[in-house]
Amino acid sequence: MLLENRRLAYFIPNTFTALNMGCGFIAILFAFHGEYYKACMFIVLGAIFDSVDGRIARLTNTQSTFGEQFDSLSDLVSFGVSPAIVYYFRFLTDAGRPGMVACFFFMLCGALRLARFNATIDKNKTDYFQGLPIPAGATAAISLIFLSFNFPVIAEYKPLTVAYLLFYAALMVSNIPFPSFKKSEWVKHHKKQVLMVIFLIIASLFIYEEIMIPAIITTYVTASLTYWLTHLKKFEGIFDWSEELENDLK
pLDDT single digits (tens) 17-74 = 999 999 999 999 999 999 999 999 999 999 999 988 777 777 777 677 787 888 999 9
* Predicted pLDDT at 121: 74
* 86, 40 Cβ separation under 8 angstroms: yes
Question: What gap in Å lies between CA 74 and CA 72, rounded to an integer?
Answer: 5
- For 39-49, give one letter per residue: b (16+ CB within 10 A) or e: bbbbbbbbbeb
Domain CATH for 241: 1.20.120
In the chain, count of helices (H) and strands (E)?
10, 2
Q: Read off the pTM.
A: 0.88
Instruction: Say which residue, 114 or 234, is predicted with more confidence.
Output: 114
Over 50: is that where the pLDDT of 178 sits? yes
Average pLDDT across the chain, whole number: 85
* Predicted pLDDT at 201: 73
* 65, 40 Cβ separation under 8 angstroms: no
Instruction: Say which residue, 238 or 161, is predicted with more confidence.
Output: 161
For residue 87, how many C-alpha atoms fall within 13 Å in the half-sphere facing its CB?
35
Question: How much is the average pLDDT of 240-249?
Answer: 53
The residues facing 178 across adjacent strands are 129
Over 70: is that where the pLDDT of 242 sits? no
Question: How much is the average pLDDT of 98-104?
Answer: 95
* Predicted pLDDT at 10: 66
pLDDT band at 3 (very low <50, low <70, confident <90, very high): very low
CA distances from 246 to 44, 116, 175 (A): 34, 10, 14
Question: How much is the average pLDDT of 150-170?
Answer: 94
* Predicted pLDDT at 149: 93
* Predicted pLDDT at 2: 44
pLDDT band at 241 (very low <50, low <70, confident <90, very high): low
Q: Count the residues in the chain.
A: 250
Instruction: Say which residue, 147 or 242, is predicted with more confidence.
Output: 147
* Predicted pLDDT at 6: 56
How many domains, the chain? 1
Closest CA to 41 of 246, 213, 165, 215: 213
CA distances from 47 to 42, 76, 248 (A): 9, 12, 33
* Predicted pLDDT at 154: 93
Over 90: is that where the pLDDT of 250 sits? no
Range of the domain at 98: 2-249
Name the range with the highest mean pLDDT among 107-121, 159-173, 175-189.
Answer: 159-173
